[in-house]
Chains A and B, each alone.
Chain A
Amino acid sequence: MSWSIRNTTLLLILLLFACKKDRNPTTNPNPPIPDATDLSDISYNPIAYELPDVFPLPVMDIPMDNPLTEAGIELGRFLFFDPILSGNEKMACADCHFPQSGFTDNLAVSTGTDGIAGIRSSMSLVNAGYFTKGLFWDGRIKTLEEQALLPVEDVIELHNDWESVVEKMQVHNAYPTRFRKAFGINSTEEITKELAVKAIAQFERSLLSFNSKYDRVVRNEAFFEENELIGFELFFDEPNDLPDAECGHCHNAPLFTVNQYFNNGLDSVGSLEEFKDKGLGAITNNPFDNGKFRAPSLRNIALTAPYMHDGRFQTLEEVIDHYNEGAHFADNIDPLIKTKGLGLSEQNKKDLIAFLHSLTDTSFVNNPAYQNPFE
């Protein structure tokens, strides 16, 4: 290869990369607008956002101080997908919560903006507005607003500080207007982290999955296949000759989580102090909470592998095998988790998995309103 050809090739490669769509939309080439401080000339006509009233989802409790508006949700969507929140502007909330993965990242444990791995798996945000008994695997935070504050300043996650994020938003070419339209602020100085997390929480409350096959069956719009129906009966311990899979106790409909924390017998420990990750116990300091983690929603579970708080199981088959073969005893194991196994046959397991697939809602993961607005 001649020198000129090599250089031409190099130039083409450079041009190719230069033309590649910038996945870092906050590296804004536009300078701050000169009179960005005063926003009062921008119209502020908030339109209330009505969550769909669709069975089987119940009425969501919305905080009085953060009502849903179209502009608030839209601002939240931009922030959710914007790497402006990370210290090196390489990572957004969405990098651990992809819509197509049921708002997880399909990794055993998530990796932050500096490439450092955390200790737990990314949690699904499906129907997150209903998660009222603590957020994160260990329940350490009560509200979506409080939750959204933490990853920004977590050194393993977005490794930034809110002061820096707020400064960037205040001089951004688009965010001041979006904050004005969402919250009616009059000046860029009124852009705060509190408003930013309110917007993110609004977006998260809009993430509703209610159109899986299961949902359509309970609305009498569809019918289960035979294996799905048997799986349903196993899941909910229907009174018949089938074994009880006991799933519904922790993953009850309609959310397929009961928003509670359990030791589901994953680890063999000699005492409650031996759990490597104490989960809820690290928050409550009650040793009987050690090794307890939030039961996640099983909606879209087929899309969210790997499974458990540490992603130890790669497939749904492995998950079911864990319960079927007998969980590890501990002093705080949930009494509905069987240490001697469930007695499911190979066919039972297949039927159960068929039912779990009926919880996949493609209209949810492909909903245009939930996708990256920068693409």
Chain B
Amino acid sequence: MAASCGKEPPPPVDTATIQLSFRAIYDGEPLVLQKEYEYQGSIVRFSRINFYLANLVAANDDGETELSEIQFIDLSLTHNTLPDAEKGTVMNFSRIPVGTYNLLRFGVGVPADLNKTTPSDYSTSHPLGIDNSAEYWEAWNSYIFAKIEGQFDEDGSGDFDGNDISFAYHTGTDRVYEQDIEFDNVLNLNGGETTNLDFELDIKTLLSFKQGDSFDLKPHDPNNLGDMILIMENFRRALQLK
């Protein structure tokens, strides 16, 4: 009878919900799109930040629980104002068995088995489907794992014009998939409750060399593999669990 009413039955009492929040930050503050920030002594602003999260797993001594195979996290939709940026992009994963988990693990990008597919292989609203067809790049035969776009005041004039740099870092191909980023904080899930995990993505770190210096922002170049590798490796440093 309950099923015939079309409502989803309530989750079992021995399950819980994990809520993940992702916030972009810059110089320690929530990043707001189109707001001007300091970069290499000049100013920068961002217009688009998104990335894929894959093979999201919570683990404990009993084994692993897969939360999601693939998620598309579009911070561009949630960072247009400061209040929204403070909240970030929030995702819920329900019906997770209660208990103590000592590890959360995921990759950034699209793993090779999924990266063999194309948006045509999915229903419209699937994270890899054509609702996100902007995240597939035909020339690479690959999804675009992450995008960081914006403008940089190259001439230091204090404002932006056609002589400045519009940058668009798009990363992709199997070679740059960043797998197994692990967070080993203890996570206690109690029945019927929601436990929140807050992640911050430091965009300045994402655009820096390992020793910390920011790299020179450049116009879009789909074949700039060096910067692609750098940015994808930087996710490991730039993502922090608060």
Question: Which residue in A57, A239, A326, A338 is a CB contact (below 8 Å) of B120?
Answer: A57
Give complex CA distance A258, B160 in Å: 27
18 CB contacts below 8 A, A to B, read A58-B120, A58-B122, A132-B131, A236-B139, A237-B139, A238-B139, A239-B223, A252-B138, A255-B130, A259-B131, A260-B134, A286-B80, A331-B34, A332-B34, A335-B166, A335-B219, A335-B220, A339-B166
Q: Which 8 A-B residue pairings sit nearest by Cβ, starting from the closest?
A: A329-B162, A335-B166, A258-B134, A339-B162, A61-B124, A335-B168, A59-B123, A56-B120
- Is A312 in the interface zone, CB < 8 Å from B? no
Question: Which residue in B138, B150, B162, B223 is a CB contact (below 8 Å) of A335?
Answer: B150
The minimal Cβ–Cβ distance linking A62 to chain B, given in whole angstroms, is 9
The minimal Cβ–Cβ distance linking B63 to chain A, given in whole angstroms, is 33
User: Which positions 123-138 of chain B face chain A at CB distance < 8 Å?
Assistant: 123-125, 129-131, 133-134, 136-138
Q: Which residues of A contact B (CB under 8 A)?
A: 55-61, 130, 132-133, 236-239, 244, 246, 248-250, 252-255, 258-260, 286, 288, 326, 328-329, 331-340
The minimal Cβ–Cβ distance linking A63 to chain B, given in whole angstroms, is 11
Binary flags per residue of B58-86, CB closer than 8 Å to A gives 1, else 0: 00000000000000000000001000000
> Is A252 a contact partner of B123 (Cβ separation < 8 A)?
no
Q: Which residue of A lies closest to B150 (CB)?
A: A335
> Is B133 a contact partner of A258 (Cβ separation < 8 A)?
yes
> Is B222 a contact partner of A61 (Cβ separation < 8 A)?
no
How many CB-defined contacts (below 8 Å) exist between A and B? Answer: 97
Q: Is the interface of B mostly helix, strand, loop or mixed?
A: mixed
> Is B133 a contact partner of A252 (Cβ separation < 8 A)?
yes
- Is B151 in the interface zone, CB < 8 Å from A? yes
> Is B222 a contact partner of A239 (Cβ separation < 8 A)?
yes
Given contacts A236-B138, A252-B136, contact A58 B130 (CB under 8 A): yes
Question: Which residue in B33, B120, B149, B161 is a CB contact (below 8 Å) of A288?
Answer: B33
Give complex CA distance A58, B122 in Å: 6
> Is B33 a contact partner of A249 (Cβ separation < 8 A)?
no
The minimal Cβ–Cβ distance linking B190 to chain A, given in whole angstroms, is 34
> Is A253 a contact partner of B138 (Cβ separation < 8 A)?
yes
B contact residues around A332 at 8 Å (CB): 34, 47
> Is A254 a contact partner of B222 (Cβ separation < 8 A)?
no
- Is B167 in the interface zone, CB < 8 Å from A? yes
The minimal Cβ–Cβ distance linking B230 to chain A, given in whole angstroms, is 19
The minimal Cβ–Cβ distance linking B50 to chain A, given in whole angstroms, is 12
The minimal Cβ–Cβ distance linking B91 to chain A, given in whole angstroms, is 19
- Is B121 in the interface zone, CB < 8 Å from A? yes
B contact residues around A238 at 8 Å (CB): 139
> Is A335 a contact partner of B34 (Cβ separation < 8 A)?
no
> Is A333 a contact partner of B166 (Cβ separation < 8 A)?
yes
Binary flags per residue of B1-43, CB closer than 8 Å to A gives 1, else 0: 0000000000000000000000000000000011000000000
A contact residues around B119 at 8 Å (CB): 58, 254
> Is A329 a contact partner of B123 (Cβ separation < 8 A)?
no
> Is B161 a contact partner of A329 (Cβ separation < 8 A)?
yes
A contact residues around B139 at 8 Å (CB): 236-239, 248
> Is A335 a contact partner of B123 (Cβ separation < 8 A)?
no
> Is B131 a contact partner of A133 (Cβ separation < 8 A)?
yes
A contact residues around B121 at 8 Å (CB): 58
Give complex CA distance A209, B168 in Å: 31
> Is B133 a contact partner of A255 (Cβ separation < 8 A)?
yes
Additional 17 contacts, C-beta under 8 A, given A58-B121, A288-B34: A60-B124, A61-B123, A61-B125, A132-B125, A238-B139, A252-B134, A252-B136, A253-B138, A258-B134, A259-B130, A259-B131, A331-B151, A335-B149, A335-B151, A338-B219, A339-B166, A340-B162
Give complex CA distance A238, B133 in Å: 17
Q: Which residue of B lies closest to A59 (CB)?
A: B123
Give complex CA distance A253, B137 in Å: 9
Give complex CA distance A248, B125 in Å: 20
A contact residues around B124 at 8 Å (CB): 58-61, 130, 132
Give complex CA distance A288, B161 in Å: 15
